[in-house]
Amino acid sequence: MTMVLNHPGIADAEPNADALKRRGSRERRALASLTLPGAILIFLVLILPIGWLFWLSFFGPSGEATLENYARMLKPIYVRTFISTFEVAGLVTLVCVLLGYPVAYLLSQLSERTAGLLMIFVVLPFWTSVLVRTYAWLVLLQRTGLVNTWLIDAGVISTPLPLVHNMLGTVIGMVHVMLPFLILPLYASMRAIDPVYMRAAANCGATPSQAFRQVFLPMSLPGLTAGIALVFVLCLGFFVTPALLGGGRVAMWAMQIANNISVYGNWGAASALGVVLLVVTAIILYAFKRLFRVDTFEGVR
């Protein structure tokens, strides 16, 4: 007993408490500092410039404070751009769903090995530069391009079809870019559906199409909504393909922003457009996250 009483720790009810606390916060600081180099870069390249643009969007060309940059967005020319952007994004998303769902479904029903092999068809485009693919579509679709040449040679048409430098060409090119973004998350979520559910449905007396509609389809919806959100949002801010395949006839939001800078040098207007684009993107992603509990960008690539 005397040993316990003589022990120095007894006098102090909480020995070492302060030293332990200091070491705890030192460790937390050390861990936090690991994120610093990346976080500083993100601040310099992303947060600071966008914050600056946001500030700028409240000033006119001569430096006076104004809401003109936002008011201008109600003008018909801007409204037309917004409408056509949403049209293109919606159309591309719809086509991606119609083409991508069957592909993901079939792949998910095959053995892992076969599916992995066939995945090359989805993944090779994914790894190929957007610019290269857009160029290839131009080569295929232009007036003297391969498709028109073949169709004329085959006698199907006599004059070249306008396949590119318009809405059609833009949508074709964008679908090609976006399709993998839909198929990959959708395939992953379909893979995770245990085939035992389909067996159980058949066992309960469901026809194949009933089993698909009532069991498989609902279970694949989380992956599908994640893919839809991702594709739609990427379309809204897309620049390269519409700029090259639209031939100036398809007005997209991102091109409007670029033109405001490169043609008019109007930073206030470009900033306001950019800010609204960011807000719309954030709202859509947030809405999908809340409504469907999907993390859109996790697990891509």
Partner 1 sequence: MLNRPATETQITHFQRIWLYMLVALVFAFLIIPCLIVIPMSFSGSKYLEFPPRSWSLQWYGAYLGSSEWRAATFVSLRAALLTTVFATTFGTLAAYGISRAYGAASSLARGVFMLPMLVPLILVAIGCFFVYAKIGLNGTTTGLVMAHTVLALPFVVIAVLSGLASYDMNQERVAQSLGASRPWAFLTVTLPQIRLSVMSGALFAFVTSFDEVVIALFISGGQNATLTRLMFANIRDQIDPTVAAISSLLIGLSMILLVGSHLLRGREDRK
Partner 2 sequence: MPGRVEIRNIKKAYGSFLALDDVSLDIAPGEFLTLLGPSGSGKTTLLNVLAGFVRPDSGSITIDGAEFLLLPPHKRNLGMVFQNYALFPHMSVRRNVGYPLRLRGVSGAELDRRVEEALGLVQMAHLADRGVNALSGGQRQRVALARAIVFEPSILLMDEPLSALDKKLREHMQLELKRLHDRLGTTTVYVTHDQREALTLSDRIAVVNGGKIVQLGTPDEIYDRPKNKFVADFIGETRFLPVETSTSGALLYGRPLRTRDDWKDGDSDKPWLVIRPERLRWKGDETETANRIEAEATDVIYQGDSYLITVRMPDGIELDLRRGPDLGGKDLPERGQPIQLWLDREHTILVADKS
Site for partner 1 in 244-283 (CB under 8 A): 244, 254, 257-258, 261, 267, 270-271, 274, 277-278, 281-282
Q: Of the ranges 2-10, 68-76, 173-181, 220-228, which one interacts with partner 1 (CB under 8 A)?
A: 173-181
Q: Of the ranges 21-29, 88-96, 131-139, 241-249, which one interacts with partner 2 (CB under 8 A)?
A: 21-29
Min CB(19)–partner 2 separation in Å = 6
Min CB(17)–partner 1 separation in Å = 21
Report how far apart, in Å, the C-alpha atoms of 67 and of each of 26, 57, 60, 118, 294 are. Answer: 47, 8, 8, 53, 36
Cα–Cα dist 250/170, whole Å: 8
Report how far apart, in Å, the C-alpha atoms of 273 and of each of 45, 150, 239, 247 are. Answer: 19, 42, 14, 22
Report how far apart, in Å, the C-alpha atoms of 263 and of each of 116, 140, 257, 273 are. Answer: 47, 30, 10, 15
Residue whose tokens read 């306008």: 162
Min CB(194)–partner 1 separation in Å = 10
The burial of 173, by beta-carbon neighbours within 10 Å (0-12 exposed, 13-18 middle, 19 or more buried), is given as buried
Question: Is residue 218 within the footprint of partner 1 (CB under 8 A)?
Answer: no
Q: Of the ranges 14-22, 104-112, 254-262, 268-276, which one interacts with partner 2 (CB under 8 A)?
A: 14-22
Sign of CA dihedral 25, 31, 34, 39: negative
Residues in binding contact with partner 1, number by CB under 8 A: 88
Nearer Cβ to partner 2 (26/143)? 26
Q: Of the ranges 17-25, 152-160, 210-218, 254-262, which one interacts with partner 2 (CB under 8 A)?
A: 17-25
Min CB(10)–partner 2 separation in Å = 8
Task: Give the one entry of partner 1, partner 2, none that residue 265 binds, where binding means its C-beta sits below a cut-off of 5 to 8 angstroms depending on kind.
Answer: none
Side chain identity at residue 49, one-letter code: P
Question: If you count them, how many residues does the chain have?
Answer: 301
Site for partner 1 in 32-51 (CB under 8 A): 32-35, 37-39, 41-42, 44-50
Cα–Cα dist 289/226, whole Å: 9
| Binding site residues, partner 2, CB under 8 A | 7, 9-10, 13-17, 19-21, 23-24, 27
